[in-house]
Chain A
Amino acid sequence: MNIDSIQNGVVIDHITAGRGMRLYELLHLQDLDCSVAMIRNVSSRKMGKKDIIKIDADIPINLDAIGYVDPNATVNIIRDGKLVEKKVIGLPERLTNVLFCKNPRCITTTEQELNHVFRLTDPAHRIYRCLYCETKASEQD
């Protein structure tokens, strides 16, 4: 699949090589019925190597999840075969239901309807903490 073949869909480009699969999982792309391409280690003049994800459907994308995994990634929206919008994400201030608090003492463990919200507390080190209990999101999150 290449970008020109998408009529209506989303291309997530400039993903740091190696982070594509993490993003694939966080966006739950395995649950989609449409064609999804996960392309790893693509040669890039700027980045050396990069990952690209192409989704062959015009679906809503959780930009916060993308920004969390890779703030340098870009999101290209394709409609009728043309690039209509290009978004540079950056590091989101808040993540809602992207990460899930693992602190057994956190209120999110008992309040089932509560959104899991993490806020950016240290942009330099990309540290997010749970809004409710301030537990730090761990690396594997």
Chain B
Amino acid sequence: MKSVISILDLSTDEIDDLVRTAGKIIQRPQDYSGICKGLKLATLFFEPSTRTRLSFEAAMYELGGNVLSVAGADTSSAAKGESIRDTALTVSCYADIIAMRHPKEGAPLVASSAATVPVINAGDGGHNHPTQTLADLLTIHREKGRFSGLTIGLCGDLKFGRTVHSLIQAMSRYPDNRFVLISPEELKLPSYVKKDVLQAQGVPYEQTTDLVGAMPDLDILYMTRVQRERFFNEEDYLRLKDSYILDMRKMAYARPDMSVMHPLPRVNEISVEVDSDPRACYFKQVLNGKYMRMALILYLLREVGKVEY
């Protein structure tokens, strides 16, 4: 049974199909509003999350389905020591599809190997977050009209930022893309991502600490938050969190058609003044995330014969 744990679980053909479906949903939402009637999505969130959980739930409601929700390990049987496997088997008896977030890396993979319904990884620690990448991809496609021939700047925490790693994996599969990796030394992209993804596929990239210097070349600037929870040491966090702040002074160096993206939530790495610039796409990304989650739910439910569209 098809589950989506990593963005690489979806082929480029499948991603194209999801982008097409999301485009149709955006154009004619009424055609999809009752398609999941009688079906249930279980959102199992064992880690704090607002936007991802709400996005999944909004997606299912807009498809006419229902939602069963568990928010937090302390309110579920996990607090009693239930295994992921048993939780997945149990929830499979109630729901038609599961979206799972868990602080431990690999937990959704364990769930998918036990569940009898499709499982979507809604984020496993610092590891994978494929539906964020789908939101990013739809945003890129809607802003640029293509997935190829793009210069993509990635800025901020490239070491721990799971969205960055997944986006690099996804965009490296399309031709003629180039990456500019902008980060402080301490938060550089891990060497295994450079070696296993970029170098292995011959994707050109450059590394720099200079955000302003990189700006004029970029089609897309993907900003990320320096996340407190990824640090073991508070001093390191405080020292690095303000390294790269995007403001209108820096935006002056960007091309008029550059798109600014961010997986959100932001702390202060994009000044609020940038929000009103037409190049700011990060709130469109949020909306696109919901549409791609709708498309993904439909796709996985169609795979198990529960919907037709």
Contact = CB atoms under 8 A, between A and B. Distances in A.
A47 interface: no
A133 interface: yes
Contact of B84 (A109, A111, A136): A111
A106 B196 contact: no
A106 B127 CA distance: 9
Contacts of A111: 83-85, 110
Interface in B99-154: 102-107, 109-110, 124-127
A117 to B, nearest CB: 10
Contact of A113 (B85, B103, B126, B192): B85
Contact of B106 (A108, A113, A122, A136): A108
Interface in A60-110: 103, 105-110
Contact of B104 (A107, A113, A121, A122): A107
**What is the predominant secondary structure among interface residues of chain B facing chain A?**
mixed
Contacts of B126: 105
Given A113-B85, A131-B109, A105 B125 contact: yes
Given A105-B125, A131-B109, A133-B105, 13 more contacts: A105-B104, A107-B106, A107-B109, A114-B110, A121-B196, A122-B196, A131-B106, A132-B106, A132-B110, A133-B106, A133-B125, A133-B127, A134-B105
Contact of A105 (B83, B103, B110): B103
Contacts of B83: 111, 113
Given A114-B110, A122-B196, A103 B84 contact: no
Contacts of B85: 111, 113
A110 B105 CA distance: 11
A120 interface: no
A109 to B, nearest CB: 7
A106 B83 CA distance: 14
Interface of B: 83-85, 102-107, 109-110, 124-127, 192, 196
The 10 A-B residue pairs with the shortest CB-CB distance in the complex, in nearest-first order? A132-B106, A133-B105, A107-B106, A107-B104, A107-B107, A105-B125, A133-B106, A105-B105, A106-B105, A132-B109
A116 to B, nearest CB: 11
B131 to A, nearest CB: 18
A107 B102 contact: yes
Given A113-B85, A133-B105, A133-B127, A107 B110 contact: yes
Contacts of B124: 107
A10 interface: no
B110 A103 contact: no
A106 B104 contact: yes
A15 interface: no
A89 to B, nearest CB: 25
A122 B103 CA distance: 27
B104 A134 contact: no
Nearest to A113: B83
Contacts of A6: none
A130 interface: yes
A122 B104 CA distance: 25
A123 B192 CA distance: 15
Contacts of A136: 192
Contacts of B102: 107
Contacts of A134: 105, 127
A74 to B, nearest CB: 31
